[in-house]
Amino acid sequence: MNNNIETTAPAAAMASSGERITPALSEFIDGNPMPAFAIDADHVITHWNKACELAFGKSSAEMVGTRNQWQPFYTEQRPLLADLIVDGKVAQMAETYYQRQFRCAPFIPGAWEAEDFFPQLEGNGRWIFFSAAPLHDLQGRMIGAVEVMQDVTQKKLAEIDPHRTQLDLEQLVEKRTAQLAEANRRLEEDIRQREKTDTELHARNAELTALNAQYSRAQEQLVQSEKLASIGQLAAGVAHEINNPVGYIFSNFGTLENYLQSLFEMLAAYEEAEPNVSSPAVADSLKNMREKVELDFLKEDIPVLMRESKEGIVRVRKIVQDLKDFSRVDSNQEWQWANLHEGIDSTLNIVTNETKYKADIIRNYGSIPDVECLPSQINQVVMNLVVNAAHAIGPERGTITISTGSEGPQVWIDVADTGSGIPKESLSRIFDPFYTSKPIGKGTGLGLSLSYGIVQKHHGRIDVETEVGKGTRFRVTLPVRHPDPTDKEEDHPA
């Protein structure tokens, strides 16, 4: 840098001298890629370039026009190299302020350069190499100074202690190696934990599988228990239904025995009178006996008694057969094609004692095909719905309407009653296990829950419509053909 720069045009005002810096010098300072600033003869900053702003965090707006050039470098006010040049005290004061690498700059008269460590810069401090030169006007008078700086931290560290750099690298490698070892240890621990977790998950999965199997068995047992409970509940009614026909069978057979005794007497009299049948007295005796035993009436009444007895026996056999059909004691519980109407009729016969005193049963059967199902379980669903409908009817006699129909590949069964309906707050819980609105001891709370499970097992659905005070309608919808996972075709029975 030439210290005899001639200036003719102003770039910034000089507070004391009134002299001006040429545009060329101003362009040099502002365009310099290294941090640079200029001061006038009164130590006032006239230029603070962009590189200074970026390097030291002080903007040109807050620095130009002040004497705060020391602030980015020191914690207390002290002169910079440019300040010592302006005061003409570089030789006397430089060693006081700069104890490292201080010397005259080559090639530029009056310029000086030095380097120093600034601990407050960028956290751990930075090494800065700086050079300063005086500024003169055309008459050779000094009107200020310019100072240029360069960050030489990395170079200085390498020059000061190459071995330390090597140690730092080795320490860095050792640190990275330790970090990798720790990462590997954690990875191995994570793998062990994952293996342990996998083992625990497999064990839990096995436990859940076993619990699911137990639950399935328990559910099957619960279904059977509910069925037995339902059959037990109906046993008294079935016994009553059987006792009526059996009672008049015994009565009729008692009367028949007396009739037959009279006939035997008449026959005995005939046998005694047979040799003397021509005698008028004997004839009168036989006539009187015929009138006494009412032989003509017996001849008419005995066939009637026998017919009634036969009807009674047929009724007993029908009730027992319906009970057998309902429970399917001879069934192996395999999926089979069944006539739902026959199942509904047999179930209604079983629950007659539950319904006949409370409601009239209306059968509104549509045309439906046979359905592939577990018949005894469907009978269980129908029984639960009919018994619940009977229980829902109040003291006034009502009606229970059972309807059937088909929609495409599905059939449906409706059980509607004119009972009390289901309150809104209970509607969402009616299929919950053990939930019942009946008094204690009158219901298990399993009927609708098991019915829901049976319908789900058949891949169907059960819907309910109810209105408090008017009644309830349950609709069970079932597929005609049970979905087969193997997609095996079976012939539909004729």
Between 25-39, 110-124, 282-296, the lowest mean confidence (pLDDT) is in 282-296
Between 114 and 39, the higher pLDDT residue: 39
Parallel, antiparallel, or unpaired for β 36-40 and 45-48?
Answer: antiparallel
The three state secondary structure string of the chain is CCCCCCCCCCCCECCCCCCECCHHHHHHHHHCCCCEEEEECCCCEEEECHHHHHHHCCCHHHHCCCCCCCCCCCCCCCCCHHHHHHHCCHHHHHHHHCCCCCEECCCCCCCEEEEEEECCCCCCCEEEEEEEEEEECCCCCEEEEEEEEEECHHHHHHHHCHHHHHHHHHHHHHHHHHHHHHHHHHHHHHHHHHHHHHHHHHHHHHHHHHHHHHHHHHHHHHHHHHHHHHHHHHHHHHHHHHHHHHHHHHHHHHHHHHHHHHHHHHHHHHHHHHHHCCCHHHHHHHHHHHHHHCHHHHHHHHHHHHHHHHHHHHHHHHHHHHHHHHHCCCCCCCCEEECHHHHHHHHHHHCHHHHCCCEEEEEECCCCCCEEECHHHHHHHHHHHHHHHHHHCCCCCEEEEEEEEEECCEEEEEEEECCCCCCHHHHCCCCCCCCCCCCCCCCCCCHHHHHHHHHHHCCCEEEEEEECCCEEEEEEEEECCCCCCCCCCCCCCC
**What pLDDT does residue 45 have?**
94
Domain ranges across the chain: 23-160, 333-494
| Residue-wise pLDDT tens digits, 38-95 | 999 999 999 999 999 988 888 999 999 999 999 988 888 989 989 988 988 887 777 7
Between 287-291, 331-335, 413-417, 422-426, the lowest mean confidence (pLDDT) is in 331-335
pLDDT band at residue 441 using 50, 70 and 90 as cut-offs? very low
- The identity of residue 472, as a single letter, is T
Question: Which CATH architecture is the domain 23-160 placed in?
Answer: 2-Layer Sandwich (3.30)
Domain 333-494 has CATH 3.40.50.1100: no
Within 8 A by CB and 6+ apart from 329, the residues are none
Q: Is the dihedral of CA 266, 270, 276, 278 positive or negative?
A: positive
**What pLDDT does residue 379 have?**
86
Q: Average pLDDT for residues 185-209, to the nearest whole number?
A: 89
Give the C-alpha separation, 121 to 44, whole Å: 23
Between 5-9, 333-337, 373-377, 420-424, the lowest mean confidence (pLDDT) is in 5-9
**Among 394, 450, 434, 389, residue whose Cα is nearest residue 416:** 389
Highest mean pLDDT, choosing among 236-240, 296-300, 358-362? 358-362
**What pLDDT does residue 147 have?**
92
Give the C-alpha separation, 234 to 384, whole Å: 12
**What pLDDT does residue 434 have?**
58
pLDDT band at residue 9 using 50, 70 and 90 as cut-offs? very low
Angle at 86 between CA 84 and CA 88, to 5 degrees: 65
Calculate the average pLDDT of the chain. Answer: 77
pLDDT band at residue 416 using 50, 70 and 90 as cut-offs? very high
Give the C-alpha separation, 293 to 285, whole Å: 12
